[in-house]
Amino acid sequence: MAKLLLVAACALIDRDGRVLMARRPEGKPLAGLWEFPGGKIGNDETPEAALVRELKEELAIDTEASCLAPVAFASQASGEFHLLMPLYVCRKWQGVPRPLEGQELKWVRRDALTGMDMPPADRPLAAQLRDML
């Protein structure tokens, strides 16, 4: 049986309704693909706590668990593990997102989300988010 990998992702949405996407840097698995920011959920973390931590580490922004709203999730077999990834929406944070881990950042309009080259787990989430916004 494949090991369960828990990852939390966040759709940061700015005042103009654009979504922040991050391009995976060279040297990482799935390099060059666009994804929602986020990361692995630690053993003693909630998905919300993991996102607050990851957004600070990856993008230098501060938010709180109360500013995160769950909107969808992906469940996908991926070889040696099975990925379970909740997607949260966040519209309130402090700071300006900056790429701290070598990734490229891009603000994307709702209708352009599904045209981006993404990892398989992010694709259905992008479509659901587009339809929701």
List the CATH number of the domain containing 111. 3.90.79.10
Q: What is the mean pLDDT of the chain?
A: 95
Q: In angstroms, rounded to a whole number, what is the distance separating the alpha carbons of residues 30 and 45? A: 25
Contact by Cβ (8 Å): 126, 113: yes
Does pLDDT of 29 surpass 90?
A: no
Q: Which amino acid is at 10?
A: C
Please give the average per-residue pLDDT across 40-57, as a whole number: 97
Does pLDDT of 129 surpass 80?
A: yes
Q: How many domains is the chain partitioned into structurally?
A: 1
Please give the average per-residue pLDDT across 13-40, as a whole number: 95
Degrees, nearest 5: CA angle 6-108-100: 55
Q: What is the reported pTM?
A: 0.94
Which residue is listed with tokens 């991926």? 78
Query: Which range of residues forms the domain containing residue 60?
Result: 3-132
Q: In angstroms, rounded to a whole number, what is the distance separating the alpha carbons of residues 62 and 45? A: 17
